[in-house]
Chain A
Amino acid sequence: NAGVTQTPKFQVLKTGQSMTLQCAQDMNHEYMSWYRQDPGMGLRLIHYSVGAGITDQGEVPNGYNVSRSTTEDFPLRLLSAAPSQTSVYFCASSQQGDTQYFGPGTRLTVL
């Protein structure tokens, strides 16, 4: 039981490049979320999903896309990277409203 896995752990992009952050969970959780963590701002919700085929926006969705084709996977796509997207990104999964299980994070730098 690996829990929540994220790849890559580190990534450096140039402004304008696109990329996908991968997230997978093996706990059969319905709910999955993407957060970004910035100093002094805690975790801010980017997008979330309540099941395969269902996604919705969080607090800071601009510049990011998500899809949920399976229960296990919830990738986050950066369409055209900007320096303001430099952050640490965490994926999490949970059952309804209960404990969030977090992945180890992806540290992204956009130059």
Chain B
Amino acid sequence: AQSVTQLDSQVPVFEEAPVELRCNYSSSVSVYLFWYVQYPNQGLQLLLKYLSGSTLVESINGFEAEFNKSQTSFHLRKPSVHISDTAEYFCAVSNTGGFKTIFGAGTRLFVKA
């Protein structure tokens, strides 16, 4: 069975500071990994994903995540956050060719001015 652990439930950070949101997963098979973002009172939308190839993946708004197979991690980073990045972030895993996606409990990022 697969599982996802997001190590921080809340991360407060000042604007323009760097941030890392941590995600660890467990799976006995090859996986796809995702980060989704949820802005207040909205549904979830994809931020970035790892399916294969380069282990470093990037989003259009400056976030990046690195797939580390040996540490079973997929941490999300941004070198300089903006107020508009305030949202809840969810890490998710599905097994390659599989049917189910399992989500972590979420990390609430709060960017302060």
Residues 67-111 of chain A, each 1 if its beta carbon lies under 8 Å from chain B, else 0 = 000000000000000000000001010101111101111000000
Residues 95-113 of chain B, each 1 if its beta carbon lies under 8 Å from chain A, else 0 = 1111111111110000000
- A103: B residues at CB distance < 8 A: 43
- Smallest Cβ-Cβ distance to A59: which chain B residue: B102
Whether B59 is near chain A, meaning CB under 8 Å from some CB there, is: no
State in angstroms the CA–CA spacing of A50 and B103 once bound together.
18
Whether B63 is near chain A, meaning CB under 8 Å from some CB there, is: no
Known: A41-B105, A42-B104, A43-B103. A97 touches B95 (CB 8 A): yes
- A105: B residues at CB distance < 8 A: 43
State in angstroms the CA–CA spacing of A65 and B92 once bound together.
24
- B96: A residues at CB distance < 8 A: 97
State in angstroms the CA–CA spacing of A35 and B91 once bound together.
15
- B45: A residues at CB distance < 8 A: 102
Known: A31-B99, A58-B100, A96-B97. A102 touches B105 (CB 8 A): no
Whether B25 is near chain A, meaning CB under 8 Å from some CB there, is: no
Q: From residue 14 to 35 of chain A, which have CB atoms closer than 8 A to chain B?
A: 31, 33, 35
How many residues of A are counted as interface, with CB atoms below 8 angstroms from the partner's CB atoms? 25
Whether B11 is near chain A, meaning CB under 8 Å from some CB there, is: no
- A48: B residues at CB distance < 8 A: 99-100
B26 to chain A, nearest CB (A): 15
Q: Which of B43, B98, B104, B106 contacts A97 (CB 8 A)?
A: B98
Known: A45-B102, A97-B96. A90 touches B90 (CB 8 A): no
State in angstroms the CA–CA spacing of A87 and B76 once bound together.
27
B54 to chain A, nearest CB (A): 17
B1 to chain A, nearest CB (A): 10
Q: Tell me if B99 and A42 are in contact (CB < 8 A).
A: no
Known: A42-B90, A42-B106. A97 touches B44 (CB 8 A): no
Q: Which 6 A-B pairs have the closest CB atoms?
A: A102-B43, A42-B105, A43-B103, A42-B103, A97-B94, A102-B44
